[in-house]
Structure 1
Amino acid sequence: MTERSAKRVLLVTGLSGAGKTTALKTMEDIGWETVDNFPFRLVESLLNTPPSSSRDDNDQPLALGFDSRTRGFEPDKLINSIKRLQKKPGYLISTLFLDCAGAELERRYAETRRRHPLALDRPAKDGIAHERTLLAPFRRWADHVIDTSDLTANDLQREIREHFSLDKDAATTITITSFGFSRGLPNNIDLLFDVRFLANPFWVPELKQKTGLDPEVAEYVSKDPAYAEAIEKIMDMLTFLLPRYQEAGKAYVNIGIGCTGGRHRSVHVAERLSKDLRSAGFSPNVLHRNLASPPMEALESMQKLNGNRGI
């Protein structure tokens, strides 16, 4: 069996409080099957279990978390067991050790008010020192070591994605949603832009029944004196933020573009931004939530009473 076809298994351990739970949750998010606190004595039985008939199930890599609390945890014996497992045909078995400075672990336990699992009736410092000694053979022997002393949870997630991503080229999914404020905000919007400052085509009789997808509406909106500068500034912000969202491992970014009714200005601006983002190398999806909604003069009129250019 080739290395490419062998099933990947990652054994994840480390100091309590160093981020094992965050690491395993991130690995689950990027496509690994994960099991925490798995009894190590059962690992060999698990690997001996025949794969399902589904090729996808067989190809999915497996991450198993264990630590000093795991039943039968004896580092030297476990290392010998892992060495034996690594000779097992059809598997690529490696280890990840999560380390952290003692002072930082003490701070984390103090902030969360949790007790260290090896110091339930003593200061956390004692449990940390004992566990570090207990796990020293694993740290020396591990294939991968990540020190989380200076890492936030987001930093650790990014490290895990960089080291263990199954698709190194996976891009953040970007969705631009046009909508009408008068019909409520969409759910799960990360970035929201209000374009009600632009001239409103609704009050032009020949444009009222048209939408932002019609060239006449697009031309009308784009003639607003503030339009070009607004598009430029929004694009500057998006091209600055989107790569950073991807670096942080954010799987989805939802951009909301809102006007009053969600049929004219927001639709055109969403289309224009999607075009500009594609030119900049992104691949956004576009949704027009209220495009099929009927024109509602009462709602537009309420906004017009504000006296701000018919917004």
Structure 2
Amino acid sequence: MSETSAADASPDTLTPVKPTASELLIVTGMSGAGRSTAANALEDHGWYVVENLPPQLLGTLSELVGHASAKIPKLAVVMDVRSKGLDADIRGALTQLAASGAEYRVLFLDSSDEVLIRRFEQGRRPHPLQAGGRISDGIAAERTLLAELKESATLVLDTSDFNVHGLATAITELFSEKGPVTLRLNIMSFGFKYGLPADANYVADVRFLPNPHWVPQLRPHTGLDPDVSDYVLVANGAQDFVDRYVHALEPVLSGYRRENKHYATIAVGCTGGKHRSVAIVEELGKRFAQQPRVTVTTSHRDLGRE
């Protein structure tokens, strides 16, 4: 894949880079992760979408886009494991595209095994690689098959927490005419006693702060309540932690922009995910929202479980 000038730009001058004449986007990923929804959203924003294309025809379509940029400026090719020989042929096709100097990106849609199983069960349909086994067997086989492709993808988007509308919104933000959102940052609170988040890029532990659980008048409330939030944020070390953590992650966010990584999750945990982590996440959300070219959302995985 051809390199863009974004790799050499400074964080202060970096802007989303899009090909000037035509654009080729390859959409692939796990079955059940939302390829059809992504394809529909792209179509809604003016992309010409081709589904289930054999990898051998990628080069031909790329030439078509290059020679008819006024008519087909944006082409999305959706490929899945039903495309015969995807594991081997896609690598050869991408190598040929890179050698020809074609501009292209690869969007890989992923989701947790638990969510994929639930989606297949709700749809009452088998996994395409399931054969005579279980849905989980098909998912495991597909993960092995697509591991290398995922590793080399331009953008990996985890759709575990998206419904149909949420995924369509994410695709809109990334690939509409307004240009891709440089970085979408999800900051999540959680409780360690319920386990670590599987999709977190970074995990912070704020159990060093005083626990409002042991203050009777604060115990029933959450970190979203001003009294609890004030209690947590004025505690010794709280503001110092927030300041230093934001500062420590600034070069990480700049690196993500340079490498065209568009989505990241920061998880902050306390014991139950009710008080300290919630208050800290909300504060971090305000701080990171001030960063250039960053869209921030906050979520609270375990709020309400107690």
Name which one, 1 or 2, has greater alpha-carbon Rg: 1
